[in-house]
Amino acid sequence: MSDLPCHSRQTTAEKRPERKTLAHVPPFSVNASYAIWFVTICAAQRDGGPLLPYAAAILESARYRHEHGLWFLTLLLVMPDHVHMLVAVPPGQDLSRAIGDWKHYLSCQCGIKFQPNFFDVRIRDDAHYAEKWAYVVRNPVSRGLVKTPREWPHVIAFDRVTGKELPHR
């Protein structure tokens, strides 16, 4: 039996830390004009695979934004409850605005509900880029959805130099 009085005991839900809102503005010392970002966007509902029925629409809208210069995408992978991408935005553009506009479009067109905000990490160098690329393509394997990365159909990739779409298989 605990020595704590009843009113000081907390339930499991009360012990969970609250998620902090992240500022998606790079520090002044960072030239974000040439940054590549690792971005994770989560569905509002994390169970039941709410994104997979819309995977084709998610990929097509991302491809459209890439082809029309709204962002420079190198990799995008749709998981059942979240999306991972490696993306850059044109100079003078804001990553938060680009992601927000895309989420708004998908919400209006497909009815997808996303969590507020998103998680982003600025890619530091080629090794960090390769590490994040490997993490993203291995994600379906890690979750037990496929045996090899090439089996996962909900992914698009573009050459980092030319911007041309790469074959997945």
Structure tokens given for 19: 């998620």
Residues 97 and 95: their CA atoms lie apart, in Å, by: 5
Residues 63 and 156: their CA atoms lie apart, in Å, by: 8
Residue 85 belongs to some domain of the structure: yes
Residue ranges making up the domain that contains 113: 31-159
Residue 12 belongs to some domain of the structure: no
pLDDT-derived band at 19, boundaries 50, 70, 90: low
Residue 120 belongs to some domain of the structure: yes
Neighbouring residues of 114: CB distance < 8 A, sequence distance ≥ 6: 41, 42, 43, 44, 103, 106, 107
Q: Which residues pair with 121 in a beta bridge?
A: 38
Other Cβ atoms less than 10 A from the Cβ of 99: the count is: 23
Residue 164 belongs to some domain of the structure: no
Please determine, for residue 78, whether its predicted confidence score (pLDDT) is greater than 50: yes
pLDDT digits 0-9 by tens, 144-164: 999 999 999 999 999 999 999
Q: What is the CATH number of the domain that holds 83?
A: 3.30.70.1290
